[in-house]
Amino acid sequence: MNLTAITTAPLNQQAVAASLDTAGIGAVSVFLGLVRDRNQGRRVLHLEYEAYEPLALRGLDLIVAEAREQWPAVRLAIHHRIGRMAIGDASVVIAAASPHRADAFAASRYAIERIKQIVPIWKREYFEGGDVWIEGATADPDNAGAREQALRIACA
């Protein structure tokens, strides 16, 4: 299994975590993003995720490389699902393995913050009465300030 993936298939947290080499590892932090039934007061029916796939995959690989630079002993895997998802489905699974827990938590948190900053994936929300594209951050992998913010949130 690849460390990073953009896939239409349902995500399996156990498989993503198991894809990491655990030699020397004492802590694994797994993060799952789930489709929520409410957003900004709207009752959500389902989501559609779309990606610019080759660039999204590069984005995930970049996040893995950034994490390796920050926490050399951490091993990170990130799988993001696209396509139609129901309430409660996992849209993203991150697994960070490390000799010690502080770095595992930090890398896992860093990865989800960075995904929301730089990975070209978009969700369209279908709610009761309409649908809307959700727009978050302007993607810019060269924005050092954004990266520092993700690090601050992760390590603090």
Partner 1 sequence: MRVTVRLFARLRDIAGAGELQRDLPAGASVHTVWRSMVSDFPELSAYESSISCAVNADYSRFTAAVADGDEIAFLPPVSGG
Q: From 7-15, 63-71, 102-110, 111-119, give the range in contact with partner 1 by CB under 8 A.
A: 111-119
Provide the minimum distance between the beta carbon of 27 and partner 1 in the complex, in angstroms, as a whole number. Answer: 9
- Collapsing DSSP states into helix, strand and coil, what is residue 130? strand
CA distance 102 to 55: 30
Helix (H, G, I), strand (E, B) or coil at 142: coil
Question: Out of a second copy, partner 1, none, which partner does residue 147 contact, by CB within 5 to 8 A per kind?
Answer: none
Which of 138, 32, 22 is closest to 80 using CA atoms? Answer: 32
Residue 79, number of CB atoms within 10 A of its CB:
25
**Is 93 an interacting residue with respect to partner 1 (CB under 8 A)?**
no
17 binds, among a second copy, partner 1, none (CB under 5 to 8 A by kind): a second copy
Name the nearest CA neighbour of 80 among 62, 56, 44, 102.
Answer: 56
- Of residues 52-111, which lie at the interface with a second copy (CB under 8 A)? 88, 99, 101, 104-105, 108-109
Which entry of partner 1, a second copy, none binds 69, CB below 5 to 8 A by partner kind?
none
Using rule CB under 8 A, residue 139 touches partner 1:
yes
Minimal distance, residue 15 CB to a second copy, in Å: 9
Which pair of structure tokens corresponds to residue 20?
């990491």
